[in-house]
Structure 1
């Protein structure tokens, strides 16, 4: 019936990831209208209408926020094509607009721009209307407001929280910590606590009086700090939470012929592990990749039980350690490379990661294979030896949990900067 398309000048610089996603940069928006200049047109075009959008709550929240800044109570009915699609087109691999449109044969042009996405959503909605034989869309799916509303006090708490990586603490009226967590985005994570309807979330919502937080700059420090703080404070709602148990570990041993063998086994604190895993399967998946990366023997890695050669030998991807064709000295060097890469046993090292602002870096210090603590340094600060770093390090307990957290983080972030002393 009608259409309105416009760029909007946000009166601030566009973040780089948004530029990469949309192709819209600050220069393109220099002469675009500001929101208040198009607000009247938006009100007119949406008057007496239902706002249909893919993830409607997100779009509607943005519109309401902008109108609220102008002092106007913008209120419309909404309908979400994500939830409708899940009901009417079940078992799809993904319900993102691009992948869903591709699966349903809906052409999408100008992706991540308002016009292309809106036209694709119209076509999807028409398809959903045709599939809705029970007319559930008309009867039930239109909502004036989100079904769950936050209490005003929780809203105020949420408004004061930042979108940063760190550890957060939920307090009751007596100031006691009732829950500790970590997140890459504290505000978003607390919002989930405040809007979830499961039993634990409802109890937290009823008892929350305040939320405090500590910025960490990166996930590694957040994970380490969360682990220690939970052990120290024993918050009531963390006790009920099933913590991850690191059940399996990678071990090495020398066989009778002098070859270093690898095996995934149940974690045993008395034995020195190369690295640890939450499940046996995750350990085996890691080992399959390691065999390929370091050109190791499947048989000597415990992945191919046989009395003769391993499968990789038949396809010339194993040098023959399984049948003693490759000397153990040369084979063991490659196994040692794996051990050196994924174990920090007996090492003195610093793991360098992002800090809490652009001018600093975080440092996690390992002394003689033992986690010593973490700290922050200025970019101009020269790291020369471990003794210099100890002045900025906050000491922390070394235990199985911290070992697993560090090893797992190093496995997942292969380009992380490390300094060996």
Structure 2
């Protein structure tokens, strides 16, 4: 059973908002079986921009019930339900805050239709409620009013339920953020962490950093620390006093900063970075017949790698692409002893190195051509990735295979003015590990790379 809801608020500072309207539709997976819709007197003024957005003004709410007068009905209609909302972390936080003021601990599992839509509808240009439902042909009335937005969320949720045929994603995205075992202290800390991409720092009471991590959703990751029962999680729960964070927008930038910050601060609950985050590498080696081949192996500091990979599968996929594009031979790469045709020979994607037919000099020249082409492209470049807002982008500057730094710029900024970008970069660690992380991300995420 689901309680699909939407609220309108007064606006204002974090955790000081008041609810001005609420709509809840109780949904059994097929149809709405109950509903509650009401204006609410927040007993504080509404921000002018909110009045313009929703059309709800202070005069309309003077005779409306106060929150404590509708609190019992909200508890009853949501009892035993998963609370569903578009951007659920906001609606749920505000409702919980209202109940806290009454001395009541309102606890429900939650499900966010933004997160669910990103999983099940990955090609959408926007995940705002209005644009998303319009792209799906779902009618929406009374936009920015609780009843209209909640009903649009009901219709969107029906579409998402139908798409999630195995219910695997739906089950995985249900959050029990507020578990009965979480202390009020941890709840207060969790409330302050955004559901954004970035890097966060867990501090003890003396201000020392005891743990650092990056995440695509910092709030969800911190919640895991507060609900898990591992030895490390229980120690963090006991010692945490506050959490600071930095939004990056870019998962790549968060990864680069995580490595650097752990190396600098050496938090006691982070594993020392003895292991590389990109432990596999591509190496060139000559087989017994004199042909150069490529192998994906564990990184060896004694040998010069061509490029590195986070996983063996990532490396194998890249090697398959290179082998096909440069008409190389899989048997040479695998160092197969027998002279028999490889699978690509019959369709002329291999020119016969497996049978020792192709001229060694010509074959090895193509191997060197790939290495030269790759090194030329991957020596000096800028990676363009997401920024902290919709209008913003991040730029990560690489020169001579060293990560010099990063900066943020607006979409209306001229990216071809490289001298401007270079002047505003914030320095980053220049280790080989950082460069390997950048290469791996560019391949996996297909990020925009500008050689210069």
The aligned residue for residue 102 of structure 1 is none
Distance 1:265 1:161, change over 3 A: closer
1:420 equivalent to 2:451? Answer yes
TM-score (norm 2): 0.61
Render the CA deviation track for 1:52-71: whole Å, top value 9, x for unaligned: 5599xx99996785375477
SS at match of 2:200: strand
The aligned residue for residue 237 of structure 2 is 205
Cα contact 2:3–2:81 (8 A) shared by 1? no
Offset at residue 403 of structure 1 (A): 2.7
- Residue 361 of structure 1, aligned match among 393, 399, 405: 393
Structure 1 segment 12-411 matched on structure 2, within 5 A: 47=76, 51=80, 66=95, 69=98, 113=157, 146-149=179-182, 151-239=183-271, 243-244=275-276, 246-253=278-285, 259-278=291-310, 280=312, 283-292=315-324, 294-302=326-334, 304-314=336-346, 316-326=348-358, 331=363, 335=367, 339=371, 347-384=379-416, 388-411=420-443
TM-score (norm 1): 0.65
CA distance in 2, matches of 1:48, 1:9: 15
Distance 1:278 1:79, change over 3 A: closer
SS at match of 1:353: strand
SS at match of 1:239: coil
Larger mean Cα displacement after TM superposition, 319-328 or 189-198? 319-328
Offset at residue 238 of structure 1 (A): 0.9
CA distance in 2, matches of 1:299, 1:359: 49
Offset at residue 322 of structure 1 (A): 2.7
Cα contact 2:377–2:451 (8 A) shared by 1? no
CA distance in 1, matches of 2:313, 2:369: 23
Cα contact 1:51–1:76 (8 A) shared by 2? no
Runs (5+) with no aligned partner, structure 1: 13-31, 81-95, 98-109, 125-142
The aligned residue for residue 28 of structure 2 is none
SS at match of 1:287: helix
Offset at residue 196 of structure 1 (A): 1.8
Aligned alpha-carbon RMSD (Å): 4.7
Render the CA deviation track for 1:22-72: whole Å, top value 9, x for unaligned: xxxxxxxxxx956869999996698499615599xx999967853754777
CA distance in 2, matches of 1:271, 1:4: 58
CA distance in 1, matches of 2:449, 2:225: 35
Render the CA deviation track for 1:197-250: whole Å, top value 9, x for unaligned: 211011111111111111212011111111011111111111368855544310
Distance 1:357 1:48, change over 3 A: closer
SS at match of 2:206: coil
Distance 1:275 1:346, change over 3 A: closer
Runs (5+) with no aligned partner, structure 2: 11-35, 41-63, 111-118, 121-153, 168-175
CA distance in 2, matches of 1:372, 1:184: 23
CA distance in 1, matches of 2:2, 2:396: 52
Render the CA deviation track for 1:281-315: whole Å, top value 9, x for unaligned: 65345434543455431022226453343232145
Distance 1:249 1:60, change over 3 A: closer
Distance 1:327 1:209, change over 3 A: same
CA distance in 2, matches of 1:391, 1:47: 59
Distance 1:298 1:35, change over 3 A: farther
